[in-house]
Structure 1
């Protein structure tokens, strides 16, 4: 069922793109450039305009239908529930590579004569 609605949804999207591209451009944003547009009281009721509204309404209906179908499929299930617990053992200290210079990560501390000596653990 979900695949059928998804295919219809994709066909509606492609059709909506095609119909919008076929419409006559009136110049200007938001219909400001021509007579009768989105901002005026008289909207042009052409056949392509009506088809655009019908396709847009059907696109919204299929979007809602896909949302409802997806919600029913996941009823009570969480994404985290679907993840299998990782069975990777924690690394032990013997697996870690040895550090050069005695294994201390701290910088050497200065001695009384100003030379740097490695810090003793």
Structure 2
């Protein structure tokens, strides 16, 4: 499940970058747009790209939240600290270093 969501996330991210770069900027640098004789006018192309960007952004956000939820609720995976504490309690492997303490008295 996680691999499928990661694949979708990658595809959506690449598509989102591509659609954003195709939009007409303030200076019109990378904007697409045909003449009035073309299939789409510049205005309809801009509307289509705006709607596409909006939906890709929504999919990207929902997918990001789903991946975060899956990572937070993963069962069976322990943190490195928990694994080290279990090894220390069992006596297997190297021992964890002792924490330094503050000396009692005048502390010289």
Q: Does TM-score exceed 0.5, indicating one fold?
A: yes
Secondary structure of the residue that 1:5 maps to in structure 2? helix
Runs ≥4 residues deviating over 6 A: none
Alignment: residue pair count: 73
- Greater helix fraction, Structure 1 or Structure 2: 2
Structure 2 gap segments, 5+ residues each: 28-45, 98-108
Cα RMSD (Å) of the superposition? Answer: 2.7
Structure 1 gap segments, 5+ residues each: 28-44, 91-121
TM-score scaled by structure 2? 0.57
- Residues 14, 26 of structure 1: CA spacing in aligned structure 2 closer, same or farther, 3 A cutoff? same
2:54 corresponds to which residue? 53
Secondary structure of the residue that 2:73 maps to in structure 1? helix
Larger radius of gyration: 1
TM-score scaled by structure 1? 0.51
Distance of 1:61 and 1:75 partners within structure 2: 25
Distance of 2:14 and 2:25 partners within structure 1: 19
